[in-house]
Every structure is written in C-alpha cells, then in structure tokens.
Amino acid sequence: MCNCSIQARESWDKELNKYYELLKVKLPKEAFDILKESQRQWIFYRDKEYLFISKFFYGVNAGTMWYAVAEDKKKEIVQASAIELEEYYDILDF
C-alpha cells in the first residue's frame, strides 16, 4: 500500500510540474512570477508538512498501518496542488 501511494504521489507530482510548465508559457510574465513565488512557498509548506506527517504517523501512532496512512496524506498534498494548477490552466484555455 505504501508503494502504491508513493507511486501515485510521484504521478501527481509529474502532473503538477506539467501544468506549472504550461502556465509558464500561457501566463503573462508578472502573473507567472507571482505563481513561481507561491510555488516556492508551497514547496516549503509541503516539505514541512511531510516532516510533520512522518513524525506524527511514524512516531506518535504505533503500528505499520500508519505508514500507509502517512504516505497517502503526503500524496493528497501533491494531488490537491496539481489539481489547482490544472484548474488555472483550464480556465486560461477556456
């Protein structure tokens, strides 16, 4: 289950990067610069949240089931951001 969540997270990360690159081409420079900075801040948030999730589910809760829960939580973070960027792109392409 952990490996499936990790693979899904990696797939969502590819989607996120795909839409980031598409927005880079479509957005005016000023708008993209703001998006670029917000993504840098999001990466900081993501990394801190990953750290917390790992500490919480690997340290606070006992049992191997929590490893799968933790990996799924990490996947959800990337998935939400990828969907958000896709929605921005779809609105531009409308």
pLDDT for 59 equals 83
Cβ(25)–Cβ(88) below 8 Å = no
Domain with 29 in it: what CATH number? 1.20.1270
Range with the poorest average pLDDT among 8-17, 39-48, 65-74, 81-90 = 65-74
Question: Residue 67's domain spans which residues?
Answer: 2-92
11 pLDDT band, cuts 50/70/90, is very high
pTM for this entry: 0.90
Give the number of domains in the chain: 1
Number of Cβ atoms within 10 Å of the Cβ of 31: 13
Which pLDDT score is estimated for 1? 86
CA–CA separation, 47 vs 90, rounded Å?
Answer: 27
- 17-62 pLDDT, tens digit each: 999 999 999 999 999 999 999 999 999 999 999 999 999 988 876 7
